[in-house]
């Protein structure tokens, strides 16, 4: 507590919100891996597994659209804590007997989890703007890169934890452990955070949830295609292929995907140094075009009969590095474009597009894999990245 007392209030608040975001992120990665692997084990087809996440992604869109407005009215601390409580409820909903776990019931639990995740994400990301002084672009890029990178590293840890717990203690006990840990995290933030973080000085109007800044609208559209391009092959197609095609165990799949996301997060945190401060529309276009080459090349290699394990491991590492730089650029640009007093609503609108991209990618991942295999997923990814590059032409070059 003495350490907390020596910190500036803004930094303390940022640290607590970041810690809460970390705790939530581990459960988010774990529950995704648990649901994906467990229901595939029960005999669900790849497309049926993707449908389990349909409401998770759909309600993420709604939550991001409304969550920014809500955070501006009641404070980012409350929206984050509401998200944690909802996630605890969603985890406990899945601890019922196996006979209760119908498709509709699991989709409802995932819908609650999607609302919780995006309330938490929006709160943490928007809080960065409240810590950094106005006009300090270098510090803003650094802080948002650290937050985003560390979050993704811990989401990777969540993938491993979810897969390992499924193999070690079973589905229900794993969910109970995660719910207990997240509830403790919620209590800590409740004790340490003040009220009204990120609250607008005036009354936030509902009509303000849609952005009127052209650069933000363009960035949101590019974000849609960027994240859809990742999830088209990463969410369902890749783990199912590793299990069915390469015969990996749950722990192997969870470890591999965890290491990928952890490395991806580390690159995000280092993005300001890697780019030497270059963070404009021109930079964004270059990196998304470079990224589009990778899934296209991977799909061609697999179609030519190259060793699948080598193509996937090497290709996924390269994809992760370049995707992380793209994501870090976007995460900085949305805060740079946003008005300081309306940051919660701008970030909420932007992450609405992010959630819509994840929804499209998740559905297409199951559909394309079931119809065309992993190669079809990779071709779809490359096409979506080309669309993101075309849209990014309208981003400001300064």
Phi first, then psi, for residue 339 (nearest 5°) are -70, 140
What is the model's pLDDT at position 133?
Answer: 61
Q: Which of 164, 29, 13, 134 is nearest to 80 (CA)?
A: 13
What is the model's pLDDT at position 377?
Answer: 95
Confidence of residue 121 (pLDDT cuts 50, 70, 90): confident
Q: Are 68 and 126 in contact (CB under 8 A)?
A: yes
Each residue of 334-374: pLDDT tens digit? 878 877 656 667 777 788 888 899 889 988 998 999 999 99
Each residue of 143-176: pLDDT tens digit? 777 777 777 778 888 888 998 899 889 899 999 9
Helical (H) or strand (E) element with 358: helix 343-391
SS3 181: helix
DSSP 8-state symbol, 201? S
What is the model's pLDDT at position 181?
Answer: 93
Per-residue pLDDT averaged across 74-101, rounded? Answer: 89
- What's CA 70's distance to the chain center, in Å? 20
Domain ranges of the chain: 9-197+213-394
Strands (E), the chain: none
End-to-end CA distance of the chain: give it in Å, rounded: 43
Each residue of 215-254: pLDDT tens digit? 888 999 999 999 999 999 888 889 889 988 888 888 888 8
pTM attached to this predicted model:
0.73
Judged on CB neighbours under 10 Å (0-12, 13-18, 19+), 13 is buried
- What's CA 183's distance to the chain center, in Å? 21
Judged on CB neighbours under 10 Å (0-12, 13-18, 19+), 280 is middle
Topology of 9-197+213-394 in CATH?
Growth Hormone; Chain: A; (1.20.1250)
What's the CA gap between 107 and 233, in Å, rounded?
A: 21
SS3 196: coil
The vertex-374 CA angle with 370 and 379, nearest 5°, equals: 110
Confidence of residue 2 (pLDDT cuts 50, 70, 90): very low
Average per-residue pLDDT in the chain? 84
pLDDT at 327 over 50: yes
Confidence of residue 387 (pLDDT cuts 50, 70, 90): very high
Residue 184 burial (CB count, 10 A): 9
Q: Are 251 and 164 in contact (CB under 8 A)?
A: yes
DSSP 8-state symbol, 208? G
CA torsion, points 361, 41, 264, 391, in degrees to nearest 10?
0
């Amino acid at each position: 507590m003495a350490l907390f007392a020596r910190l500036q209030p803004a930094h303390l608040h940022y640290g607590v919100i970041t810690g809460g975001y970390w705790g939530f992120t581990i459960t988010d990665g774990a529950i995704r891996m648990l649901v994906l692997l467990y229901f595939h084990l029960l005999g669900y087809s790849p497309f049926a597994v993707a449908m389990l996440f349909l409401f998770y992604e759909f309600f993420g869109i709604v939550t991001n659209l409304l969550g920014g407005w809500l955070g501006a009215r009641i404070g980012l601390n409350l929206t984050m804590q509401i998200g944690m409580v909802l996630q605890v409820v969603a985890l406990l909903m899945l601890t019922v007997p196996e006979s209760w776990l119908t498709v509709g019931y699991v989709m409802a639990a995932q819908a609650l989890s999607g609302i919780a995740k995006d309330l938490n994400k929006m709160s943490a990301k928007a809080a960065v703007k409240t810590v950094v002084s106005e006009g300090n672009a270098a510090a803003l890029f650094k802080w948002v890169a650290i937050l985003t990178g560390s979050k993704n590293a811990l989401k990777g840890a969540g993938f491993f934890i979810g897969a390992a717990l499924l193999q070690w203690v079973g589905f229900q006990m794993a969910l109970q452990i995660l719910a207990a840990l997240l509830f403790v995290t919620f209590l800590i933030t409740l004790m340490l955070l003040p009220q009204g973080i990120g609250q607008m000085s005036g009354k936030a109007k509902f009509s303000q949830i849609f952005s009127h800044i052209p650069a933000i609208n363009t960035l949101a559209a590019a974000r849609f295609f960027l994240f859809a391009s990742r999830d088209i092959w990463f969410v369902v197609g890749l783990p199912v292929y590793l299990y069915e095609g390469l015969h990996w165990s749950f722990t192997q799949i969870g470890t591999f995907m965890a290491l990928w996301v952890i490395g991806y997060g580390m690159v995000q945190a280092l993005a300001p140094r890697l780019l030497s401060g270059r963070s404009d529309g021109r930079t964004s276009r270059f990196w998304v075009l470079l990224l589009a080459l990778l899934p296209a090349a991977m799909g061609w290699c697999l179609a030519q009969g190259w060793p699948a394990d080598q193509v996937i491991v090497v290709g996924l590492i390269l994809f992760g590095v370049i995707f992380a730089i793209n994501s870090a650029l976007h995460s900085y640009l949305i805060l740079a474009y946003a008005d300081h007093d309306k940051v919660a609503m701008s970030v909420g609108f932007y992450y609405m597009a992010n959630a819509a991209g994840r929804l499209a990618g998740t559905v297409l991942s199951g559909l394309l894999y079931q119809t065309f295999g992993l190669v079809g997923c990779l071709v779809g990814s490359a096409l979506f990245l080309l669309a993101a590059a075309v849209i990014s032409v309208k981003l400001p070059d300064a």
